Amino acid sequence: MKPTATTNQPDAAIAVENLTKRYGDTVALDGISFRVQRNELFGIIGPDGGGKTTLFRILTSLLRPGSGRARTYGLDVVTDYKRIRQIIGYMPGRFSLYQDLTVEENLAFFASIFGADVNQNYDLIAPIYDHIKPFAKRRAGDLSGGMKQKLALSCALIHRPKILFLDEPTTGIDAVSRTELWQMLRSLGPKGVTVVVSTPYMDEALLCDRVLLLQDGRILDTDTPEAIIAHFDKHLIAVETEDNKRALRDLRDLDPAFNVQTFGYEIHVSSERALERADIEKFLRGRGYRRVRVDDIVPTIEDCFIELMQKEKEHVS
């Protein structure tokens, strides 16, 4: 089929239609379709092996689609790959800068490849590059994990791309650096950069304008985090006792149909049928717990993802 140059929605930063990719018998992407708007902060949320990296490699023109189409700013990833590479920034999951160049040499190198000027675009990277500027003369290979990540992001942005792809930028990164990175990502949309970022951390989904939940190559949902939470259709309570590890088993005894999961210092119980807080509390007291708190709660994005994953599994099997 001959690709056409027209797009029916010229505003889309990304338009993916029925995209499929197989590796032998493994289906990495199974006919997915979605759009990303310009200047949007778009999250691709899902576990390892869900298809995130394959999708990134196709969108950045590094891998050909099996079937279906993908366009970035109206450019086809197969036929217009040269032009796509000029307007994107890509930060792969694995650190891929030159370890034996210094921090500032790496930055200058990436700018020169794109014919960009470091000073002219410095405003875009200042919020993160300022953290590593004191180490400008240090070799990239000698930086800590968090600093490497900041340098990689600076290098991916220094040519002021229209769209920035980040594949799991926060995996293995501590909670402080994660927070800083996300502050930075949120500042890019207003400066005219569309951001597509993947992560296995569910809490980071809340920081995106919209998210796509990807599992086993299929889209579980695409929406704003608020809408995904609003679509949660089960009853949900949070339980806290002095011994949550034991309470986990007791709550599963109470009703095998309950979905009982640990959530930090709480246990979340979801169910098709209404959950009476008083009944749960009485049950736990009866089992000898002294400190029992039971609250109705609004689901987190992680509750929603777990729910959608389980639905998908039932659907498949």
Partner 1 sequence: MSPDHIIFVDGLTKYFGTFCAVDNICFHIKKGEIFGFLGANGAGKTTGIKMLTGLLKPTSGTARVAGFDVFTDSEQIKKNIGYMSQKFSLYDDLTVIENIRFYAGVYGLSRRQIKHKADALIARLGLEHVRHSLTRDLPLGWKQKLAFSIAIIHEPKVVFLDEPTGGVDPITRRQFWEMIFDAARSGITILVTTHYMDEAEYCDRVSIMVDGKIVALGTPRELKEKYGQPDMNRIFLKLARG
Which SS3 state, helix, strand or coil, does residue 144 take?
Answer: coil
* b/e burial code for range 13-31 (CB count within 10 A of at least 16 → b): bbbbeebebeeeeebbbeb
- 262 is an interface residue for partner 1 by CB under 8 A: yes
- 201 is an interface residue for partner 1 by CB under 8 A: yes
Q: Tell me the closest approach of the beta carbon of residue 176 to partner 1, in angstroms.
A: 5
Judged by CB under 8 A, the residue of 144, 183, 231, 272 near partner 1 is 144
Judged by CB under 8 A, the residue of 146, 229, 232, 234 near partner 1 is 146
Partner residues linked to 199 by β-bridges: 45
- 168 is an interface residue for partner 1 by CB under 8 A: yes
Which residue do the tokens 């949320």 mark?
45
CB 157 within 8 A of CB 91: no
Stretch binding partner 1 (CB under 8 A), from 32-40, 54-62, 119-127, 304-312? 304-312
Name the CA dihedral angle for 169, 34, 298, 272, rounded to a multiple of 10 degrees. -120
Q: Tell me the closest approach of the beta carbon of residue 310 to partner 1, in angstroms.
A: 7
Judged by CB under 8 A, the residue of 3, 10, 141, 264 near partner 1 is 264
- 177 is an interface residue for partner 1 by CB under 8 A: yes
- 27 is an interface residue for partner 1 by CB under 8 A: no
Q: Is 306 left (phi over 0), alpha (psi -120 to 50) or beta?
A: alpha
Round to whole Å and give the CA distance between 237 and 268: 6
Within residues 203-242, the interface with partner 1 by CB under 8 A covers 215
Round to whole Å and give the CA distance between 241 and 259: 17
Instruction: Name which of 71 and 218 has its Cβ closer to partner 1.
Output: 218
Instruction: Name which of 88 and 212 has its Cβ closer to partner 1.
Output: 212
Binding site for partner 1 (CB under 8 A): 46-50, 144-146, 168, 171-179, 200-202, 215, 245, 248, 261-265, 302, 305-306, 309-310
